[in-house]
Amino acid sequence: MRNFTCVCGQGLFFENSQCTACGRRLGFDPQRGELLALEPVQAEPSGVLWHSVETGLTYRPCRNDLDFHVCNWLVGDSDQYCLSCRLNRIVPDLESSVRAPLRRERWARLEQAKRRLLFTLLAMGLPVVSKSESQSDGLAFAFLEDQRSNPAVMEQHVLTGHWQGLITVNLAEADHVEREKMRQGLGESYRTLLGHLRHESGHYYFEQRVVQQGELEGFRALFGDERQDYDCALRSYYAQPMPAQKRPEMISAYAQSHPLEDWAECWAHYLHMMDTLETASDYGLVPGGILDLRCGPDIEWCFWQWSRVSVAMNALNRSMGLDDAYPFVHSELTLRKLRYVHQRIYPNSMPRQMAASV
C-alpha cells in the first residue's frame, strides 16, 4: 500500500476520509488509484457533488458512505455505489435490532479489508468485475451472520468460502475476540480479515488465471490434482481435533487439505508479500524506490527483499511484545509455487532463466 498526500501537504493514509490538517473531505478514486482532496461543487442542491481540488474532476460519495459511513471510495459515473460496494450481494441488516451499531462496526472492518484487497488487485491489473456486469465471470461478496452470533437469522452455520465467484464471509470473523477464538481453536498462526479475503480471491482467480490460461498441467505438477474429492478432503482435514502441519514444506497446515486450498494459500501469501513490500518501499525500507505493481516486479528481487523485511517486521513486533507479523517460513517448494502465482498474475513476465537467455 502506498501512502498519499493532501493538496495541503499533509500525509494521508488509504483509510482516511478527512484531512486532519486542512479539514478537507477525502475520497479514493479507484480508477486513478488516488486518494483525492475534495471540495463541494457550489450551487449543487443535493450537497453531495464534489470536485477534486487537484484534477477538477467531479465525484459523488458512495451510497454506503452517505447511508452508513462504511466507505471512502468515490463514484464518478451514474451508479450509486463505488466499485468496491457494487460487488456486495448481501450486507448485514442494520435496521432491525439493537445490535445494529455493533453489526455496522464489523461490516465497516470487512469493507475496509475488501478495499485493501481490491487496491492490490487493481494495481496488478487483475480484472475486478461485478456479477451485475457478468453473472458467469463476475465477483460478489456476501457478509452473513449465523445463529451462533444472531439467533434471529435463518442460517445455522455460515462458513467463510468461495463458490462460483461469490465470496462469503461470516460477520463474526470481524469480531476480534471471536476471530482469535477461532484461530486458537484451529491451531492457526495467522487469521485476519484481509487474509481471508486474499485467500478467497485466489479461488476466484483460479478459473481465469489457471484454467482459462490453459495452465492446468503446470498447476498439477506443482500443487497436485485438483480433481480429487474436495468435500471429502475438507471433511477429513477438519475431522482432526487440531490440524497439524505434517508437511513443513507446505506454506501452512491448511494448504495440506487440498491442492485448491494450497493454491489459495499461496495466492494469499503472494498478495501479503507484494502489498507489504509496496508499503515498505513507500517508507524507504527497501532499495530502488517505490515498488510498482503495475508492471510485474522481478520476483527473485521480491523474494530477497521479503526475506529481509519479514524478518525485520517480526523482530519489531517482538520488541513491542507482540506476536510475529509473518509467522511463516518459505521452503524451496513454496517459492516455486509463489513464482507460479506470479506468472499467472503477470503472464508476460518471463522466468528469470528465460529472461537471461534472450
Residues that bind Zn ion in the complex, under the rule CB under 5 A: 6, 8, 10, 19, 21-22, 62, 64, 71, 73, 82, 85, 261, 264
Q: Is residue 83 left, alpha or beta, with left meaning phi > 0 and alpha meaning psi from -120 to 50?
A: alpha
Count how many Cα atoms sit within 13 Å of the Cα of residue 300 in the half-sphere of its side chain. Answer: 7
Quick one: 74 or 277, whose CB is closer to Zn ion? 74
Q: Give the C-alpha separation, 117 to 111, whole Å.
A: 10
Quick one: 261 or 275, whose CB is closer to Zn ion? 261
How far is CA 334 from its chain centroid? 20
**DSSP code at position 109:** H
* Minimum distance from residue 315 beta carbon to Zn ion (Å): 30
Q: Give the C-alpha separation, 89 to 94, whole Å.
A: 15
User: Could you report how far apart the first and last alpha carbons of the chain are, in Å?
Assistant: 33
Quick one: 19 or 197, whose CB is closer to Zn ion? 19
Quick one: 2 or 153, whose CB is closer to Zn ion? 2
Quick one: 64 or 256, whose CB is closer to Zn ion? 64
What is the three-class DSSP state of 195? helix
Phi, psi of 297 (to 5 degrees): -65, 160
* Minimum distance from residue 105 beta carbon to Zn ion (Å): 17
* Minimum distance from residue 74 beta carbon to Zn ion (Å): 9
Closest CA to 105 of 180, 174, 15: 174
Quick one: 70 or 273, whose CB is closer to Zn ion? 70
- AA identity, residue 62: C
**DSSP code at position 208:** I
Strands 140-144 and 88-90 come out as parallel
Phi, psi of 67 (to 5 degrees): -85, -40
* Minimum distance from residue 65 beta carbon to Zn ion (Å): 6
Cβ count within 10 A of residue 177:
8
* Minimum distance from residue 175 beta carbon to Zn ion (Å): 21
Residues 6+ apart with CB under 8 A from 233: 257, 258
* Minimum distance from residue 22 beta carbon to Zn ion (Å): 3
Quick one: 210 or 299, whose CB is closer to Zn ion? 210
* Minimum distance from residue 347 beta carbon to Zn ion (Å): 23
Quick one: 8 or 316, whose CB is closer to Zn ion? 8
* Minimum distance from residue 79 beta carbon to Zn ion (Å): 10
